[in-house]
A and B are shown apart, each in its own frame.
Chain A
Amino acid sequence: MAETTRQEFMLGEGSGTGGGPQNIQLGVGPAHPAMHGIIRIVTELDGEVIVNADVEIGYLHRAFEKDCEQGGWNNAIPFTDRLNYVSPLINNFGYASAVEKLLGIDVTERCKYIRVIMSEISRISDHLTCVGASAMELGAFTVFLYMIKAREYLWELVEAVTGARLTISYGRVGGVKADLPEGFAERTLKAFKETREVLDEVHRLLTGNRIFMDRMVGVGALSREETIAYAITGPLLRAVGVGYDVRRAQPYYTYDRVEFEIPTQKDGDNYARYLVRMAEMEQSMRIVEQALAAIPDGPINVDFEGRPIDPAAYVDQGKQGKTEGLLLLPITLSPNLQGQQRADLNRVNMGDKRVVLPPKETAYGSIEGLMNHFMLIMEGYGIQPPPGEAYFPVEGANGELGFYVVSDGTDRPYRVRCRPPCLPPVAALPRMIAGEMVADLIPTFGSVNMIGGELDR
Chain B
Amino acid sequence: MEILAELQRRFGDAIVETHEHHGDATAVVARDAILTVLAHCRDDVALAFDVLMDLTAVDYLRYPGREDGPRFEVVYHLYSIAHNHRLRLKVRLDEDDATVPSAVALWPIANWLEREVWDMFGVRFDGHPDPRRLLMYEEFVGHPLRKDYPITRRQPLIGPAT
Contacts and interface: CB of A to CB of B under 8 A. Distances in A.
A2 interface: no
B108 A428 contact: yes
Interface string B135-153: 1110000001100000100
Given A389-B24, A408-B64, A61 B107 contact: no
A57 interface: yes
Interface in B88-103: 88
Contact of B54 (A229, A414, A417, A457): A417
A102 B145 CA distance: 22
Contacts of A427: 108-109, 111-112
A440 B45 CA distance: 38
A389 B89 CA distance: 13
Contacts of A400: 53
Interface in B80-124: 81, 84, 86, 88, 107-109, 111-113, 120
A390 B24 CA distance: 7
A141 interface: no
Contacts of A391: 24, 54, 77, 86, 88
A146 interface: no
Contacts of A47: none
B145 A65 contact: yes
A231 to B, nearest CB: 4
A231 B52 contact: yes
A415 interface: yes
Contacts of B84: 249-250
A419 B56 CA distance: 9
B5 interface: no
Contact of B22 (A63, A390, A415, A417): A390
A419 B151 contact: no
Contacts of A409: 64
B135 A61 contact: yes
B63 A102 contact: no
B46 interface: no
A423 B144 CA distance: 20
A64 B51 CA distance: 25
B53 A242 contact: no
A141 to B, nearest CB: 34
Contacts of B26: 389
A387 B58 CA distance: 14
A63 to B, nearest CB: 6
A230 B56 CA distance: 16
Interface residues of A, number: 43
A231 B108 CA distance: 9
Contacts of B3: none
Contacts of B59: 415
A399 B59 CA distance: 27
A66 B21 CA distance: 24
Interface in A379-411: 387-391, 393, 400, 402, 404, 406, 408-409
Nearest to A101: B22
B50 to A, nearest CB: 5
- Find the residue from B51, B64, B75, B113 having the highest chain A CB count within 10 A: B51
A65 B59 CA distance: 12
Nearest to A231: B109
Contacts of B21: 388-390
Contacts of A414: 58, 62-63
B14 interface: no
Interface string B53-83: 1101011001110000000000101000100
Contacts of A388: 21-22
A139 interface: no
B134 interface: yes
Nearest to A407: B63
A63 B134 contact: no
Contact of A402 (B53, B63, B64): B53
Given A404-B54, A404-B56, A419-B53, A63 B144 contact: yes
A392 B148 CA distance: 27
Given A230-B108, A402-B77, A408-B64, A58 B136 contact: yes
Contacts of A228: 50-51, 81
B151 A70 contact: yes
Given A65-B145, A388-B22, A402-B54, A231 B111 contact: no
24 contacts: A58-B133, A58-B134, A63-B144, A65-B120, A67-B151, A70-B151, A102-B22, A226-B108, A228-B51, A229-B108, A231-B109, A244-B81, A249-B84, A250-B84, A390-B22, A402-B54, A408-B62, A408-B64, A414-B62, A419-B53, A424-B112, A427-B111, A428-B108, A457-B135
Instruction: List the 7 closest A-B pairs by CB distance, nearest first.
Output: A58-B135, A427-B112, A231-B109, A419-B54, A61-B135, A417-B56, A390-B22
Given A387-B64, A427-B109, A456-B135, 16 more contacts: A57-B134, A58-B137, A61-B135, A65-B120, A229-B50, A229-B107, A229-B109, A231-B51, A231-B53, A233-B51, A390-B24, A404-B75, A415-B58, A417-B54, A419-B54, A457-B135
Interface of B: 21-22, 24, 26, 50-54, 56, 58-59, 62-64, 75, 77, 81, 84, 86, 88, 107-109, 111-113, 120, 133-137, 144-145, 151
